[in-house]
Homo-oligomer: A and B are copies of this chain.
Amino acid sequence: MKNNNINNLLKSNGFSVTKPRVQIIKILQNSNSPIGIDAIINKTDGKIAISSAYRIIADLLDADLINAFQSPENKLLVELIQNNTKHHHHLYCQSCKKVLDIDIDEKLEKNIDSLIRKISKQNNIEITNHSFELFGKCNDKSHE
């Protein structure tokens, strides 16, 4: 049943249904935080070529089905955009490398939006997107 959803998702976005694409989407659906290419491949019984993984991720990104961004270690991280996914930001733990979704309250997001409009006018630049990311160290002692 989940497979049908995935098939439809692929078809309705102009993709043919292939095993690597279905596998990657499944993995992203089951991940509760952004995940790297290596981790994706590790969850596929090592069956997907790394080049294919990158290609598929790039295609999903073009179709606006995923968010992608670089980790502080300069690795690509991706997360599936689900129907309940909304604009949010991330907190990176620099010791254990976990990434947490963070929501910021509406008031702050509105303040940010109005700041953006102001800066856009001041500099005569159309601002297309923004990032707001937090970096920290959790108390997981296993990394010291």
A interface residues (Cβ-Cβ under 8 A, vs B):
70, 74, 91, 93-94, 100, 102, 104-105, 107-108, 111-112, 115-116, 119-120, 123-139
Contact = CB atoms under 8 A, between A and B. Distances in A.
Copies per complex of this chain: 2
Given A111-B108, A115-B105, A123-B100, A137 B130 contact: no
27 contacts: A70-B70, A91-B119, A91-B127, A93-B125, A94-B128, A102-B119, A107-B111, A108-B112, A108-B115, A111-B111, A112-B132, A116-B134, A119-B134, A120-B136, A123-B138, A124-B138, A125-B136, A125-B138, A125-B139, A128-B135, A128-B137, A129-B134, A129-B135, A130-B132, A130-B133, A131-B131, A132-B132
